[in-house]
Amino acid sequence: MIQDYLIVRVECLFDKDPRAASFENLCPQEQDYLILKKESIIKYLIDLRHNFSAHANLLRMQNSGFPKTNIIIESNLNEVLQKLSQITQKY
């Protein structure tokens, strides 16, 4: 449950829905944001959110299985979140 919450909340930072309070809507052309958005852990979390945590994609789940906690733990997610926090200081 904690992992799902993390997946959903981090993905919300990159949400493209115009109603969202996200970096995508706040500063979509910010260079540091554009770099962080391409991080593999961010892409992984967004994929998980769209195919597992918030919406169930049965075919995707059958092919990829459940989210792999070790990928999240061993990633640079903490560093990415710290850099995103620094971006908020500009706005």
- Burial category of 58 from C-beta neighbours within 10 Å (exposed 0-12, middle 13-18, buried 19 and up): exposed
What are the tokens at 15?
């949400």
Over residues 8-39, the pLDDT tens digits come to 899 899 999 999 999 999 999 999 999 999 99
Per DSSP, helices labelled H in the chain are 2-12, 23-26, 31-37, 40-48, 58-64, 69-73, 77-88
Residue 54 scores a pLDDT above 90: no
Higher pLDDT, 37 or 3: 37
Which pLDDT belongs to residue 55?
A: 61
How confident is the prediction for the chain on average, in pLDDT? 88
Distance (Å, rounded) from C-alpha 82 to C-alpha 78?
6
What are the tokens at 24?
């995508």
Residues above pLDDT 70, as percent of the chain: 86
Can you give the pTM of this predicted structure?
Answer: 0.83
